[in-house]
A and B are shown apart, each in its own frame.
Chain A
Amino acid sequence: MFENTKLPEGMNPETLEHLMDPKNYGKLENPSCVGVAVDEKTGEYVIFYTQLEGDMIKDAKYATNGCQDTVVIGSMFSEMIIANNIDYAQGAIKKMHEKLGVMSQQQQVCADIVFSAFIASMINYEHKQEGKEEEMHVLKMKESCEGENIHE
């Protein structure tokens, strides 16, 4: 299902299109849940808005002050998961991680911050379902881009 996904290695026309016009960039007005992943060392963040209907992702948007790799990966990932269910999205993260293995360490960090923001939005959703009042869930990225890089 992800065989034709092109990641931003090299500058193919698809990557250029994501650069010139990132898909699903911005805010959702009434999201089901909101997640933020932040690198406290650099101040870079990704905020991810998800609109759910049951376990279906009806809509998703993201915003970031990060680099263009982050923008392109956010654009691609959000396109992949919209109109699919949460399990599919989790699988998309895994599949994209496998593909990202061939990319630079910096690009992997960019991907991780996008995925972490989505995961944070899912945690926010769970918390809301449990009746907790939480405007958004925040995950902090570790400084190092090696190994696990999420901790709450």
Chain B
Amino acid sequence: MNSLYKNKHELWLHITFASFAINDEEIKARLYEFSLIAFRHMKWLGADILKDGDDYNYDRDMKLFKRQSVFEVLHALMKEVNNTSALYPQSVLGKRMRTDDDYLLEYLSQILHNETNNKEVTAFNMKRKWLDKSLAQEQIDALTMFLFEESYKEYELILVYAYMQARTENVLEFSIFQDLIDESHFHLKSFGNMMAKMGILALPRELHAMTYVIKDLEKFVTDGIAEEKAAKEMCRELSDAIKDEELSKFFDFINYQESYHIELMKKLL
């Protein structure tokens, strides 16, 4: 299997979760932009691999940067960027990825030059507190389980849809998969940032091939619709359980988004 793809997948996750881990909103937003660029790299790289008659998988061999300060996170990220960048081929795509990564390294260097950016990272402290809200312990527990459940599910959906998108020649399917991928990116970002806020940021677990090598699209979509309905119910229950207007409204908003996912998925049948 393709080792560059594996590295690129890991780098996408490293950038994404560095963005979630850092509290500074400006750095968080910029890193998230870079993470989406890295995801597009993955998509283009995957397409090139398939075009060459080779294949890739979603195996990973990585640990999250559970560091205590922003600079420690960024230094670790720079190392990963350099390691991956060294693997890029001498191709048009290879040059594109290298120049993007060079600019990311330049941005990281700029951040590291300003000592005031070196704030504490609280994303891994396991305190499970929402600083500006007073939630009861049962609400915190329910929110914790929801975030672990759904952050994995969104990561899974991003990768499964991307895997199928790379292998379809149907334009409608391609477009629907893209919409679903974009939606899941937003949900993963929302949940990842909430996990960081609660001090429980963790990587979603690795996908087994049995999860993403889909042999029966119709069954996959039918099961997926049932899962979306279950996710809607979880959002509704959580919205009811959490006695906080702001959070309840957020889970209602996610719930209504899931409704439209179901409509998008029905178009695949």
| B126–A11 CB distance below 8 A | no
What's the Cα separation between A113 and B148 when bound, in Å?
Answer: 20
Query: How does the 8 Å CB contact mask read for B228-257 relative to A, with 1 for contact and 0 for none?
Result: 000000000000000000000000000000
Q: Would you give 21 A-B contacts (Cβ < 8 Å), ordered by A?
A: A11-B140, A11-B141, A16-B126, A19-B200, A19-B202, A21-B202, A22-B205, A26-B206, A27-B59, A27-B208, A42-B223, A42-B226, A43-B219, A43-B220, A43-B223, A63-B206, A65-B156, A65-B210, A68-B145, A68-B152, A71-B205
Minimal Cβ-Cβ distance residue in A for B222: A43
What's the Cα separation between A28 and B61 when bound, in Å?
Answer: 13
Does B182 sit at the interface, judged by CB under 8 A? no
Give the B-binding residues of A (Cβ under 8 A).
10-11, 13, 16, 19-22, 25-27, 36, 42-43, 45, 47, 63-65, 67-68, 71
Minimal Cβ-Cβ distance residue in A for B202: A20
What's the Cα separation between A13 and B140 when bound, in Å?
Answer: 13
What's the Cα separation between A32 and B4 when bound, in Å?
Answer: 30
| B205–A25 CB distance below 8 A | yes
Minimal Cβ-Cβ distance residue in A for B144: A11
| B126–A10 CB distance below 8 A | no
| B149–A67 CB distance below 8 A | yes
A60 CB → nearest B CB, Å: 15
Q: Which A residues lie within 8 Å of B206 (CB)?
A: 25-26, 63
Q: Which B residues lie within 8 Å of A67 (CB)?
A: 149
Does B211 sit at the interface, judged by CB under 8 A? yes
Q: How many A-B residue pairs have CB under 8 A?
A: 50
| A65–B211 CB distance below 8 A | yes
Interface size class of B (residues with CB under 8 A): 20 to 34
Query: How does the 8 Å CB contact mask read for B153-171 relative to A, with 1 for contact and 0 for none?
Result: 0001000000000000000
For chain B, what secondary structure do more than half of its interface residues adopt (helix, strand, loop), or is it mixed?
Answer: helix
A41 CB → nearest B CB, Å: 9
Give the A-binding residues of B (Cβ under 8 A).
59, 126, 128, 140-141, 144-145, 148-149, 152, 156, 200, 202, 205-208, 210-211, 219-220, 223, 226
What's the Cα separation between A13 and B211 when bound, in Å?
Answer: 29
Contact A68 B148, CB 8 Å, known A11-B141, A25-B205: yes
| A19–B148 CB distance below 8 A | yes
| B144–A16 CB distance below 8 A | yes
A62 CB → nearest B CB, Å: 9
Considering residues B200, B206, B210, B223, which has the most beta carbons from chain A within 10 angstroms of its beta carbon? B210
| B149–A45 CB distance below 8 A | no
Minimal Cβ-Cβ distance residue in B for A62: B208
Q: Which B residues lie within 8 Å of A36 (CB)?
A: 210
| B226–A45 CB distance below 8 A | no
Considering residues B126, B205, B219, which has the most beta carbons from chain A within 10 angstroms of its beta carbon? B205
Minimal Cβ-Cβ distance residue in B for A13: B126
What's the Cα separation between A67 and B153 when bound, in Å?
Answer: 9
What's the Cα separation between A130 and B210 when bound, in Å?
Answer: 27
| A63–B200 CB distance below 8 A | no
Q: Which A residues lie within 8 Å of B210 (CB)?
A: 36, 45, 47, 63, 65
Minimal Cβ-Cβ distance residue in A for B212: A65
